[in-house]
C-alpha cells in the first residue's frame, strides 16, 4: 500500500463530483442497478476514485443480483479496510479504501466459494482501468 492520502474537506470536494463525495466521504450509497459498473463485464482493474489505489480486479467480479458491483476479494488484503457500521438500525461491515479511507460499500459472508465473500461496492467510489489488451485502440 502507498502512503496515506489525507486531504481537507475542501480538497476532497474539489477532487470529486458531488455524487462521489457523498458516497466516499459521507458513507452514502447509490440506488441499486444505477451505477456505471454494476453490469460491466470488461477485463481490468477497479481503482479508488479518491486516490487511484487498485482495489478489485475484474476476474473477481460476479453478478450477485444485488444491483451493485460485487467482488469475491480485493486485489490485495491490505488495499481495503473494514469497520463496523451500525447505521440503519443494523450491524454491517463497511469496506473502505485503506489508502484514503473513502467509503466503498459493505462486505457480506454470502458470496460464492472459494472466499464466500461478497464485496458489494458503489460504482461511484470506483474508476475502471481496462486491461491493456482490452483497451480500445487509440485514434
Between the alpha carbon of residue 2 and those of residues 20, 23, 53, 98, 124, the distances in Å are 22, 22, 8, 9, 22
pLDDT of residue 138: 43
In tens, the pLDDT along 37-84 reads 999 999 999 999 999 999 999 999 999 999 999 999 999 999 999 988
Mapped onto helix, strand or coil, the DSSP state of residue 78 is: helix
Catalytic residues: 120
pLDDT of residue 85: 78
Q: What is the dihedral of CA 64, 65, 68, 69, to 10 degrees?
A: 40
In tens, the pLDDT along 12-31 reads 999 999 999 999 999 999 99
Domains in the chain: boundaries:
9-130
Q: Cell numbers 457480506 label which residue?
A: 108
Q: Under a CB-based contact definition with an 8 Å cutoff, are residues 50 and 16 in contact? A: yes
Name which CATH class applies to 9-130.
mainly beta
Neighbouring C-beta atoms of residue 15, cutoff 10 Å? 17
Q: Indicate the pLDDT class of residue 1, thresholds 50, 70 and 90.
A: low
In tens, the pLDDT along 74-96 reads 999 999 999 887 877 778 889 99
Q: Can you point out the beta strands (E) in the chain?
A: 44-48, 54-57, 61-62, 70-71, 80-85, 92-97, 103-108, 118-121, 126-130
Higher-confidence residue of 87 and 36: namely: 36
Cis peptide before 9 (omega within 30 of 0): no
Amino acid at each position: 500500500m502507498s502512503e496515506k492520502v489525507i486531504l481537507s474537506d475542501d480538497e476532497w470536494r474539489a477532487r470529486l463530483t458531488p455524487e462521489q463525495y457523498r458516497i466516499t466521504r459521507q458513507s452514502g450509497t447509490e440506488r441499486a442497478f444505477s451505477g456505471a459498473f454494476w453490469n460491466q463485464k470488461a477485463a481490468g482493474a477497479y481503482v479508488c476514485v479518491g486516490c487511484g489505489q487498485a482495489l478489485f480486479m475484474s476476474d473477481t467480479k460476479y453478478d450477485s443480483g444485488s444491483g451493485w458491483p460485487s467482488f469475491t476479494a480485493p486485489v490485495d488484503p491490505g488495499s481495503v479496510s473494514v469497520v463496523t457500521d451500525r447505521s440503519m438500525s443494523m450491524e454491517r461491515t463497511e469496506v473502505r479504501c485503506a489508502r484514503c479511507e473513502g467509503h466503498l460499500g459493505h462486505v457480506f459472508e454470502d458470496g460464492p466459494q472459494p472466499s464466500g465473500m461478497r464485496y458489494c461496492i458503489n460504482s461511484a467510489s470506483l474508476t475502471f482501468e481496462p486491461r491493456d489488451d482490452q483497451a480500445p485502440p487509440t485514434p
